[in-house]
Amino acid sequence: MNGFDPTTTSPPATMRDIRALRSDLVEVAEEAARATLAAHTRTLALLDEQEQNAALFRAEVRSRNEREDERERLVDARMATMLRHLEKLVDVPATERETLSPPSWQERAGAWLSRPASTRAVLALAAAGVLATLSGCVALMGVH
């Protein structure tokens, strides 16, 4: 009879008890669904934040790599310019420099005259000072 066991001491469940139990189960299920939805929403927000952070990091790395590439290009350009200037300065190969004879007195005089006048004047004063010192020493030696 209605699943009621006469040997038990508990009263049989009524329709009101069944409805109350169903209502409690529905409330528990709804609360669990809300908690699950909130957890999924937080997870999606965290994933979006991680994706944005990864995109920012990739952009920073790209920017840094571009700056490094630009610096490298500038260094290469400066090095090439410096090498071109050095090639202009070094006009005689090293093998030819070793076999050149010492300059003649005409070449030395030409080099002397091609110097600026101020340099020639300083060198002439230095030479005159050396000669005056030597002549003074010779004069002193002749006195003794």
Identify whether residues 106 and 36 lie together within a single domain. no
The answer to whether 19 touches 11, Cβ cutoff 8 Å, is no
- Using the predicted structure, report yes or no on whether residue 43 has a pLDDT greater than 60: yes
Domain range for 109 = 101-144
Domain assignment present for 4: no
Dihedral Cα 16, 22, 25, 29, nearest 10 deg: -140
- Please state, in angstroms and rounded to a whole number, the distance separating the CA atoms of residues 95 and 101: 13
Q: Measured between alpha carbons, how far is 61 from 84 in angstroms, rounded to an integer?
A: 34
What would the mean pLDDT of 119-126 be, rounded to a whole number? 82
Predicted local distance difference test score (pLDDT) of residue 46: 95
Answer for the pair 2, 15: CB distance below 8 angstroms, yes or no: no
Q: Are 121 and 129 in contact (CB under 8 A)?
A: no
| pTM for this entry | 0.39
87 in a structural domain = yes
Clarify whether residues 69 and 50 are in a common domain: yes
For 111, the token pair is 């080099």
Least confident of 29-38, 70-79, 133-142: 133-142
Most confident of the following: 54-68, 92-106, 126-140: 54-68
